């Protein structure tokens, strides 16, 4: 598969998963849905009640990911895939931290596995892309 397609597909995944978190009312509905799902699945951890400041930070994060996703959809460049991989590794690490230290909802595992998988796929794809890409000479 073309590396640009991998970058674009990962961005589409992010857009679908993150879109509701970018907008106040959709975010509240999404958090309530997750709260109910957590209870129905009898998962470990918890989802606490949120205050407006919590929703603000969720909306802020959601907004940034929506913009970042759209950039990668429109311009699925190799370097963006590489940096997205780094962000996914960071996010995955944060998920593990909060799952183990603070015992947050086990729903996070459903986000962790796609996140770390996309990181690996994009890093592997980037390494293959770099091997096959012609070297460019630049003057400084």
Q: Is the pTM of this model over 0.95?
A: no
Six token digits for residue 94: 């944060």
Question: What are the residues whose beta carbons fall under 8 Å from the beta carbon of 13, sequence distance 6 or more?
Answer: 114, 118
For residue 105, the surrounding DSSP H or E stretch is none
Tell me how far apart the alpha carbons of residues 98 and 70 are, in angstroms, rounded to a whole number.
28
At 97, list the tokens: 């931290």
Which portions of the chain are predicted below pLDDT 50?
137-139
Helix (H, G, I), strand (E, B) or coil at 41: coil
């Amino acid at each position: 598969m073309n590396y640009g397609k991998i970058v674009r597909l990962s961005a589409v995944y992010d857009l679908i998963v993150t879109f509701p978190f970018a907008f106040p009312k959709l975010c509240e509905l999404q958090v309530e849905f997750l709260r109910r799902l957590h209870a129905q699945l009898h998962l470990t951890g918890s989802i606490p009640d949120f205050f407006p400041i919590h929703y603000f930070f969720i909306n802020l994060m959601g907004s940034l990911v929506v913009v970042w996703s759209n950039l990668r959809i429109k311009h699925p460049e190799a370097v963006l895939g590489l940096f997205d991989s780094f962000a996914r590794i960071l996010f995955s690490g944060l998920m593990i931290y909060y799952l183990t230290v603070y015992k947050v909802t086990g729903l996070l595992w459903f986000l962790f596995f796609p996140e770390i998988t996309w990181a690996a796929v994009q890093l592997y794809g980037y390494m293959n892309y770099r091997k096959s890409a012609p070297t460019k000479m630049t003057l400084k």
